[in-house]
Structure formats: C-alpha cells, structure tokens
A = this chain, B = another copy of it.
C-alpha cells in the first residue's frame, strides 16, 4: 500500500483526494473528467441506491429507462433548460469509424457516416422524457405519473474532482406529472423530505432544507428545493435537489390532459435527483486523518474479525471459535468479514480496516480463547475494550446503532456550531474565512448575490424552509430585507 497520509488541517483538499485513492473508492480514468468507481466505492454506492430505491417505491414511484441520447431538436425545445446545459454537453455527430488510409491499424471517423441530426448525451432527461410523456398522458386518469430512472449522465465540466464533479456521473432522476400545481409542489416537497431523511438517517449527515435563489435554480424550474450539508472544513455541499417545474416542459412539449370537467390543461411537473456526489459528502462529512468513517447503515463491511496468532495451530483454534460467530452475525443481518489471510500481519489489517472505515473491529487471540473474550474496537471513537463472547451478537447490534447515532450527533453538533448569524460585513467575511455558514440579510437581488460571490466566493446556499421572518438590512447593500439567508463557500 503506497499510502501518503495527509492531515485534514494541513490540506483538506489533498486529504480528500488521497483518501478517495487510498481507500480504493475511485480513480481518474483515461477519459478526461470521467472516473472509475472501484469495487469498494461502488459497494457503498449500491447500499445508497438500494435504500433510496426502497424509499422511492414506498412513496409510489416506479422505475423506467429512457434513452441516453436527446436529439438536438428536442434538447432545445425548453429554452431555459437548453441554455443552461448547452455549454457543457457531449455531442454525437457520427455513427461509424473506418480504417485510416494514411495510418495502418488506425481508425478514423467516417465522414460519410454523419448523423442528420446531432444527438446530445443527456445532461438530464427532462426533454426526452417529456417528449415521451406526451404520448402517455391524455386524461386526468393517467395522472399522477410517478417515474424514476437510475442512469448515467454527462456534463462537460472543465474542472473535475472525483465524486464531487465529474464529466460523467451516476444518478437517479425522478420525473413526475400532475394535474394540479398544488399536487406538483407537494411532490417536490415530499421528495425533498425523502432526501433529507436519507441524508440524516442513513448517511448520518444533518442537512438544511431550503429553496434556491433564482441564480442557483435549475434551468427550466420555477422553484428548486435543496438539501445542503456541511463538510468538516465548514464548506457546503449541495446533496440533492427537487424541482417544481411548473408547466414549462408541458408547454414546450405540448403535454395536455383532459380534466374531469372536460377541459384541456397543461400538465404540472417535478423532477428531483441525487448522484454519486453523495459519495463525496459521505466521505468528507465523517472521515478522519486515518481514513474513512462510515455510518454502519451504509458500510459494505460492518464488522471485521481479525485473528491474532502465531502459527497455524493458533489460527486454526481461533478460526474454530470465529466461524460460528460469523454465522450468527450474518443471521442477524450484519455484514461481516473474517480476515484470516496469512499474507498480511494483524497490524497492517488494523490500519487497512481503519482506512476503509469499517465501523466495528473484533480481534481474537489465544488469551481471548482461554478467557472466552474478544477485543472490540469502534472506528468512530477509536475506543477499545475486551468483552465476553457471550451475548456478543446483541452487543454488536447495539453498538452499530450507537455508532450510527454518534456519527450523526457529532456531525450535527459541528454543523450547529458553525452556522452563525452575521450582523456586519466584517463578521460575515470572518465566518466564511473560519469555515462555516453565515446567516445574513440579503436584499433579494441577483446583482447583490453575484457581487457577494465575486467578493467572497460565497453563494447563497438556500433560503431555509420555515425561516424566521425578521426585518433587517442587506449585509452588503444595507437595503431592506425580510429574512436571513444562508451563505457559504461550496463544493
């Protein structure tokens, strides 16, 4: 393991990059901006997917699959959406290669195989989906239409970073159609709540729910709801968005329905998504200088058992004791790994599983065999103790819950301590510089928002839902304001 250790306080950004590499989560590929998600990283993503998928189905959604490609004429139909993504999309122009006559063994694009209409690789699927919904929706009886898709999308970002911003990423995108404005708004809010629940209860990351300002809104949306998480450097990470799309896409694609009363109306829409970006949030919110710290509910390996032994006979004796334990833990629904490899020493293994963020480590040596004990260590607090093997399964189940709660509580305390009200410009800048979210008055203009961004690199992360209404003066312009909004530097 060629492993360069970097501390968070030395260089947070480098710490993150090293951790992603060293914990075998992902790496850069030969394609600019595209990542390879390695098996261990993918296993965490799969756990996220499974849980989210369950929550989507519990709220009445079905999965489907729509094409990777969007014909240019459909892509440009909803103008704001098109404008928002036009500058960063990959475009297919040809459908065939041929032998390069000038270079033996090389291929070239066949100029005769040019597409009549260029195809955009979906940066998001509203256009292709609403063009399809047009044929699916005739009457109020066809509504609501509640569909989700798990897919890859491509946005040609210039500056990329593993998980946080990549040219290709994996995500889910929900696309729903409703007969009333109110129902669509409720759906956007319901899915925001699903995301917040997932973030807090499974990822153990506390989030702020809020609305985006016009500047930060999804291209083509009337309103964008979001959840914002705080990373350990006090910066914000947008973890999920849910959009109320109004009738914009229905109008662009002429999707009308016959109402109960016999009229014809445009359909109301929402879309909502989370992506492999959540992996970045998970890593940055909890991990420490020794590696990942995974919440038990998303850890591919929840418990690792390491034998401490000299010679084959000791290993055999320990294995005999461990194997029924492994079975018991598995029966209790716990994912457990017994690492009896003799090619690595136990000290190496300890470090490896710390790096990988395994929540609970059990170690068993000859003395434990004699005493019917086991050493149990938790990854989050690094506490170790020796306990009796009797009732171990129950102990582990409780401990996993305790770790899940503790990781969340720690992140929550950190978040609460680092959201601060700013009553002056100096205070505002200081909060941002120290790393944190600043609650500040803002005059509501996009211009002011942009100026603040230019001066401080901070953006309005959101206007929190259920925000207190309080009169005040804009932190920059002094113009009147009716509520504080949340500013932060962000990933």
What is A's interface to B at a CB cutoff of 8 Å? Answer: 27, 29-31, 34-39, 42-43, 46, 62-72, 74-76, 79, 82, 86-99, 105-107, 109, 118-121, 128, 131-132, 135, 141, 147, 151-152, 154, 156, 168, 170, 343
- Do B64 and A168 touch (CB < 8 A)? no
Chain B residues in 8 Å Cβ range of A70: 31
Tell me whether A120 and B97 are in contact (CB under 8 A).
yes
Contact A76 B96 (CB under 8 A): no
- Known contacts A63-B43, A67-B34, A119-B31, A109 near B96 by CB under 8 Å: no
Cβ-defined contact, A30 with B131, below 8 A: yes
Minimal beta-carbon separation of A228 from chain B (angstroms)? 26
CB distance from A101 to the nearest CB of B (A): 14
Q: Knowing A105-B76, A109-B91 touch, does A168 contact B69 (C-beta < 8 A)?
A: yes
Contact of A63 among B29, B30, B42, B64 (CB under 8 A): B42
Chain B contacts for A109, CB-based, 8 A = 91, 93, 118
Assembly stoichiometry (copies)? 2
Once the chains bind, are B62 and A42 in contact (CB under 8 Å)? yes
Q: Which residues of B contact A67 (CB under 8 A)?
A: 29-31, 34-36, 168
Task: Return A237 CB to nearest CB of chain B, in Å.
Answer: 21
What would be 21 A-B contacts, judged by CB atoms less than 8 Å apart? A29-B128, A30-B128, A30-B131, A34-B69, A36-B66, A36-B67, A43-B62, A65-B170, A86-B96, A86-B97, A86-B99, A86-B107, A89-B96, A90-B94, A90-B95, A91-B92, A91-B95, A92-B92, A92-B121, A96-B156, A151-B152
Docked CA distance A30–B89 (Å): 19
Chain B proximity of A487: nearest CB distance (Å): 31
Is the CB–CB distance between B147 and A71 below 8 Å?
Answer: no
Let me know if B97 and A89 touch, CB within 8 A.
Answer: yes
A236 shortest CB reach to chain B, Å: 26
| A93 touching B93 in the complex, CB below 8 Å, given contacts A43-B62, A64-B37 | yes
User: By CB atoms of chain B within 10 A, which of A69, A89, A109, A156 has the most?
Assistant: A69
- The smallest C-beta distance from A413 to any residue of chain B, in angstroms, reads 35
- The CA-CA distance from A4 to B62 in the complex, in Å, is 26
Q: Is the CB of A63 within 8 A of B88?
A: no
Q: Which residues of chain B are near A75, meaning CB under 8 Å?
A: 97, 107
Partner among B29, B69, B86, B343 whose Cβ is within 8 Å of the Cβ of A66: B29
**Is A96 within 8 A of B92, CB to CB?**
no
| A410 CB → nearest B CB, Å | 30
Q: How far is the CA of A90 from the CA of B90 in the complex (A)?
A: 12
Is there an interface contact between A30 and B93, defined as CB atoms closer than 8 Å?
no
Whether B97 and A91, one on each chain, are in contact in the complex, defined by CB atoms closer than 8 angstroms, is yes
Q: How far is the CA of A37 from the CA of B343 in the complex (A)?
A: 48
* 7 cross-chain pairs, A with B, having the tightest CB-CB distances, nearest first: A39-B62, A34-B67, A37-B65, A86-B97, A95-B156, A91-B94, A31-B69
Contact among B63, B82, B90, B141 for A39, CB-based, below 8 A: B63
The answer to whether A68 touches B107 (Cβ under 8 A) is no
- Please give, as numbers and ranges, the residues of chain B lying within 8 Å of A151 by CB-CB distance: 152
Q: Is the CB of A39 within 8 A of B107?
A: no
Chain B residue with the shortest CB-CB distance to A37:
B65
A66 to B82 alpha-carbon distance, docked (Å): 28
Which B residues touch A27, using CB under 8 A? 132, 135
Q: Which residues of B contact A64 (CB under 8 A)?
A: 36-39, 42
Closest partner residue, chain B, to A53 (CB atom): B46
Alpha-carbon gap, A62 to B31, bound state (A): 23
**What are the residues of chain B within 8 A of A69 when measuring CB–CB?**
31, 34, 90, 168
Given A67-B34, A71-B31, A132-B36, A96–B107 Cβ distance below 8 Å? Answer: no
